[in-house]
Structure 1
């Protein structure tokens, strides 16, 4: 996914350059979109009697939205500053700690996900390659507002004859903010296209800092936004 994103970004760089907004234009762009996020090195490991198993962290979808201000300081370059909210984290496939063929008490886990709520302040330089088309990069500090782990757990007992008795499923929601770092710094790299003041944008964020206090893990996420430009000064 990341490979195709950067190939598209690289191909756009060969397009002809032309002027965009007039120098001195200040605009505000409210936007909403989708965040696809994961956490590296955040697999769940559990020991079985004869083997060691792990469940890989996978991308989860979340909401992102907010607003950005953009100032056109050159005919083909602008500077933008934003205030955004994003739901990040990861999810896991369903699993259990059952040892096949062995009687005992076990637990099954489903719908497991980690939700990280961030307030983000992206500062970007936007370079317009053609009318409406821009590539961008910058720096983005993010501040953790909250973190929760949610999952459903079903306890069950496997008898010697292979039969199983299941307990009612329980939903668990835990506050895990204390396990995560309060700030995250990343480099956003993106591309956008604007038509009739409607802006469609995609960004990839390269995290520079670890996200969990005890583990060397990092946030990985893409954002896909739709916004609308309102010119304040021309």
Structure 2
């Protein structure tokens, strides 16, 4: 009987030790990766499309038990969308750079939306024009996710929580073609549009991660639940973020 008791104790002790070691464990996981983002809930569904971006940061994780843990992170994430539109401004007098986007006096502004949007016009006979193509909306956020992880299998964990995003910058960038005083120039257009977006947003991160020898691959969908556009435009004021992020990290035990 004593031998049987010793054997049972020997079998149980490693599991008990593992449970004790895992509970209260603190880890730090720096991560770097990419995002694929788009806008959701827009009345004009074809107006926007997905664009790629960059994400970097770290998660601090505390083990509540062998199965559950709680983490808080700090990230820099690039979100936004590709805008399926082109814009042509033709004018008869030379505009300045401050008014050229909205259209100077004596100008005609045309905007065409759609996945294959383009505008045909005679570049040779036009006295002057400003043509924007391939516009992209770049939103840079400082993000703080707080999530609960369920470790469902060896190295595999599911993630659910809430994320606060603070807008660091917002730019509309595009390819630019301009004809002024008979001279045609090509370049990049960059316009600060931070005033057109709310400073803060909230998202729900839903994800899965796999850890092997402290190397962790993490995939999350960031489901935006708050409106991000600070505008009266009925086509844009319902817009929310929709972002998929995939990162590679290394886990340090503290």
Q: What range describes the TM-score normalised by the shorter chain of this pair?
A: 0.7 to 0.9
SS of residue matched to 2:219: strand
Separation of aligned partners in 1, 2:250 and 2:67: 19
Higher helix share: 2
Shift of 1:169: 2.0
Q: Deviations over 1:105-140 (max 9, x none)?
A: 765322321111100000000001101000010000
Q: Deviations over 1:45-67 (max 9, x none)?
A: xxxxxxxxx96211111110101
Q: TM-score, normalised by structure 1?
A: 0.76
Distance 1:60 1:76, change over 3 A: same
| Larger Rg over CA atoms | 2
Q: Deviations over 1:127-161 (max 9, x none)?
A: 011010000100000100111111122247xxxxx
Q: Deviations over 1:151-202 (max 9, x none)?
A: 122247xxxxxxxx98322422111101000001011000000000000011
Contact 1:85 1:120 in 2 (8 A): yes
Contact 2:86 2:134 in 1 (8 A): no
SS of residue matched to 2:48: coil
Gaps of 5+ in 2: 1-17, 88-109, 111-118, 232-236
Contact 1:190 1:203 in 2 (8 A): yes
Shift of 1:99: 5.5
Separation of aligned partners in 2, 1:43 and 1:99: 27
1:57-76 map, 5 Å: 57-76=48-67
Aligned to 2:79: 88
Q: Deviations over 1:72-120 (max 9, x none)?
A: 011100000000010111113574553679x867653223211111000
SS of residue matched to 1:178: helix
Which of the numbers 54, 66, 69 marks the counterpart of 1:78? 69
Aligned to 1:160: none
Aligned to 1:204: 221
Contact 1:87 1:118 in 2 (8 A): yes
1:44-123 map, 5 Å: 56-93=47-84, 95=86, 97=110, 98=119, 107-123=130-146
Aligned to 1:7: none
Q: Deviations over 1:194-224 (max 9, x none)?
A: 0000000110011110010121100010000
Contact 2:148 2:161 in 1 (8 A): yes
Q: How large is the RMSD of aligned CA atoms in angstroms?
A: 2.7
Contact 2:86 2:135 in 1 (8 A): no
Query: Are 2:47 and 1:30 aligned?
Result: no
SS of residue matched to 1:167: strand
Aligned to 1:192: 209
Distance 1:168 1:174, change over 3 A: same
